[in-house]
Structure 1
Amino acid sequence: MESFPEIISVDDHTVEPAGVWRDRLPSRYRDTGPHVVRAPVKEMTFVGGKFAPRMGEPGDDGPIADWWVYEDLRRPLTRLDTAVGYSRDEVRLEGITYQQMRPGSYSVPERLADMDINHVRSALCFPTFPRFCGQTFTEAKDRDLALLCLRAYNDWMVEEWCGPQARGRLIPLTLIPLWDAELAAREVRRNAERGVRAVCFSEIPPRLGLPSIHSDAWDPFLGACDETGTVIAMHIGSSSQMPSTSSDAPPAVGSTITFANCCYSMVDWLMSGKFERFPNLRIMYAEGQIGWMPYVLERADVVWEENRGWGGVADKVLRPPSELFAEHVYGCFFDDAFGLRNLDAIGVGSVLYETDYPHSDSTWPKSKEVGESQMGHLPQDVVERIVCGNAIELLGLTHNGLWPGAAR
């Protein structure tokens, strides 16, 4: 390998600064919208794929954490939100404060410095408090306030996190009001006018109590993405249910099979007929890895070829699923040597690289070294496509991997 190109990470994360909503909501909502309080942790468990924290009262015993408070929700910052800078053995399920995390988690200058350490040119960042596709606001009781909160987050994402101080190196990823597809379409278009080319969505919407992708309910949203070239980004856990096998399974079980929801979701999309109806749609699976894809595509093609007559897809899926995959679907990985050894069965143009900063799975600060070790057998031009070229094309970046909207 001649040289390892600078990375464009399509899956990093931001921990929102404490003032994101208080600084942007109308004054009458500043105490009822999301805000941070410091309080003890009374209890915190993560079993069977479910995270269950309990906040103590001031004066109670217990470790102190910074908690997001919003309606009935009490959600602490945890070490799993931001684990970079700690050894693997030090990363535990525990509440933390902003002072106990690496500043690059929430501060743009420090984030850029940590990207420099990690050979990262630019990065697309998913949210933390809103959750991976804005479930926090979807579950809220006051939908008017929820919409204001969601738009405030998008404004912060575009204007500050990805604003002038980021110098084009942070790529905006916005949210939609999942409870209303027409409103979602408007939000996609509002942000597209600002140069945004990626939006969060749920990998399995029915698990959030929403219509499936097989229905027509999402068509206004899908139409807006199709028209504006907005990529639909789905992160593992964006269905609010991490894969698990039982209610008492330890987190290690779910962590091993995190790709499972992406697998289910991808088959949903390939068999939905949506790619036929919206030919410009592009979807990506953040942190889903890629090693599982070849067999699923092989099986999907067999089912489509042999069983489409009774399988309910003959009149809407007009080409083999593997062909639709090659044109519309992107798998994202940070550590997947097996997938890279089977790249010919996935397709060079369907793969994107990520670093997952600042989560516990992140390869920071050695994402370059991991990539070199796993891609050493690949030609230089293939490495460049995986590490940066595909992302540049997909997200509408400049030739050197920057977000052009930052210059507006």
Structure 2
Amino acid sequence: MDTHETLPQIISVDDHTVEPPEVWQDRLPAKYRDTGPRIVRAPVKRMTFVGGKFAPEMGAPGDDGPLADWWVYEDLHRPLTRLDTAVGCSRDEIRLEGITYEQMRPGSFSVPERLADMDVNHVQSALCFPTFPRFCGQTFTEAKDRELGLLGVRAYNDWMVEEWCGPQSRGRLIPLTLIPLWDPELAAAEVRRNAARGVRAVCFSEIPPHLGLPGIHTDHWDPFLRACDETGTVVAMHIGSSSRMPSTSADAPPAVGSTITFANCCFSMVDWLMSGKFDRFPNLRIMYAEGQIGWIPYILERADIVWQENRAWGGVAEKVLRPPSELFADHVYGCFFDDAFGLKNLDAIGVGNVLYETDYPHSDSTWPRSRQVAEEQMGHLPADVVERLVRGNAIELLGLTGEGLWGASAPEG
């Protein structure tokens, strides 16, 4: 990029929202308000994150321990933590600890403050993943009451479309919805319901069997995938959307998992490339949020070799009709926020298959320096390539206006 060029405004395809306390209480039928998701302020008795497993324990009123705001839903007690929203804190202040809404940056949960923080960060528009539902709605999938779970999914989607991405966002917040993962027909119906109001992206699990669900090599998910194919809805998979972050042992410190967070994306992408789904659903598009991109070239090289040399016994000869690298070029998008190595090998990935993100408000976020990070890492690239990475590809993939904004009146398909 010419140093005299101005970096185009960023469209981030992976930010996060911390849901306000009233999202479900305002939308669920009265009979569910005592069992549906609600916020309770209580002490943190203990909390660990070892071997990729998060284990918090809520204290009783009057117990010793720092206070936090907890999501309570059926038997689930889940605190808000500093890792949910770390922007504005120094690196040495970012610890695994419970917090309250007053202790987080307001842009985490408030639209006006979010837009202001986007302005500071040279971000025009942003697609936001959930927090309490987890990255693909696992919270509702694991719940006992399926009727309440479905209502919870729909309530979140209504809040996402009508409030978070409503008129006050001025088209700058792009909706990303959930599905009831336990029923592919219900999932398809929810995709179509939201596509009819302009939604073009839906959360899904990177590795469904880790959630106790069928894998994508079966036909179980076909109703859901058909709905995405027919409505132009992108399947968005965030690291951790299988509820199992990569780790090496039960006693491995979080730094191990944080270093290899891309691994699930790697495994998942190979799954999709070897599944035959892209030949069956030619309009299907998938994206990997927060997976970075530097690992992609070798995986494509290896997948092509396996497809060519081992397909007679590898179980793909009849269903994977083109080299995996060609399928990747037409159907898969990698997302990054800090990957200088990947950008140096962009020609082996494909300019059209890369999207930019800022990860606000998480601890890995480049906020408020996303513009500077992009300029430093993309300085060797032509201006037209930079424009595609930081906004052009996202506009095309998510069906945004030419100005990079979302409009609920976008046509279906």
TM-score of the superposed pair, with normalisation by structure 2: 0.98
Question: Contact 1:164/1:406 (CA < 8 Å) preserved in 2?
Answer: no
Alignment match of 2:275 (pick from 272, 284, 287): 272
* Matches of 1:121 and 1:406, distance apart in 2: 19
Pair 1:52-2:73 in alignment: no
Distance across 1 between alignment mates of 2:340 and 2:302: 22
Match of 2:27 among 8, 24, 27: 24
Select 1:131's aligned residue among 134, 158, 161: 134
Shift of 1:270: 0.1
Mapping of residues 53-92 of structure 1, within 5 Å? 53-92=56-95
Q: In structure 1, what residue type is equivalent to 2:354?
A: V
**CA–CA distance in 2 between the matches of 1:156 and 1:30?**
16
- Aligned counterpart for 2:307 among listed residues 304, 307, 331: 304
Residue 238 of structure 1 is matched in structure 2 by 241
Partner of residue 221, structure 1 = 224
Residue 113 of structure 1 corresponds to which residue in structure 2?
A: 116
Match of 2:176 among 157, 173, 176: 173
Residue 350 of structure 2: aligned partner: 347
**Shift in Å, 1:28:** 1.2
**In 2, Cα distance between equivalents of 1:407 and 1:338:** 36
1:407 Cα deviation after fit: 9.0
Q: Does 1:252 align with 2:270?
A: no
Q: Deviations over 1:93-137 (max 9, x none)?
A: 000000000000000000000000000000000000000000000
**Corresponding residue number in structure 2 for 1:158:** 161
Partner of 1:291: 294
**Structure-2 separation of matches of 1:60 and 1:407:** 52
Contact 2:198 2:410 in 1 (8 A): no
- Tell whether the 8 Å contact from 1:13 to 1:105 is kept in structure 2 after alignment: yes
Paired letter, 2:89: Y
C-alpha offsets along residues 272-305 of structure 1, whole Å, 9 cap, x if unaligned?
A: 0000000000000000000000000000000000
Taking only the aligned residue pairs, the percentage that are identical comes to 85
CA distance in 2, matches of 1:400, 1:50: 41
- Computed over aligned residues only, the root mean square deviation of the Cα atoms, in angstroms, reads 0.8
Structure 2 residue ranges without an equivalent (≥5): none
Structure 1 unaligned residues grouped into runs of 5+: none
Distance, in Å, in 2 between the alignment partners of 1:406 and 1:72 is 39
Report the residue type matching 1:149 in the other structure. G
Say which of 205, 209, 214 aligns to 1:206.
209
Structure 1 residues 163-211: Cα deviation after superposition (integer angstroms, max 9, x where no partner): 0000000000000000000000000000000000000000000000000
| Per-residue CA distance 1:27-80 (angstroms, 9 max, x = gap) | 111111000000000000000000000000000000000000001100000000
- The equivalent residue for 2:338 is 335
Please say if residues 163 and 406 of structure 1, whose CA atoms lie closer than 8 Å, have aligned partners that are also in contact. no
Deviation at 1:406, TM superposition (A): 7.2
Secondary structure, counterpart of 2:408 in structure 1: helix
For 1:314, the aligned partner's letter is: A
Q: TM-score, normalised by structure 1?
A: 0.99
2:50 maps to amino acid: V
Name the structure 1 match of 2:369: 366
SS at 1:405 equivalent: coil
| SS of 1:16 mapped into structure 2 | coil
Report the AA paired with residue 240 of structure 2: G
Q: Which amino acid is 1:21 matched to?
A: W
Q: Which portions of structure 1, spanning 4 or more consecutive aligned residues, are displaced by more than 6 angstroms?
A: none
Query: Partner of 1:324: helix, strand, or coil?
Result: helix
SS of 1:57's partner is coil
> Structure 2: which amino acid aligns with 1:55?
M
Are the aligned partners of 1:162 and 1:406 in contact in 2 as well (CA < 8 Å)?
Answer: no
The equivalent residue for 1:35 is 38
Length, aligned pairs only: 408
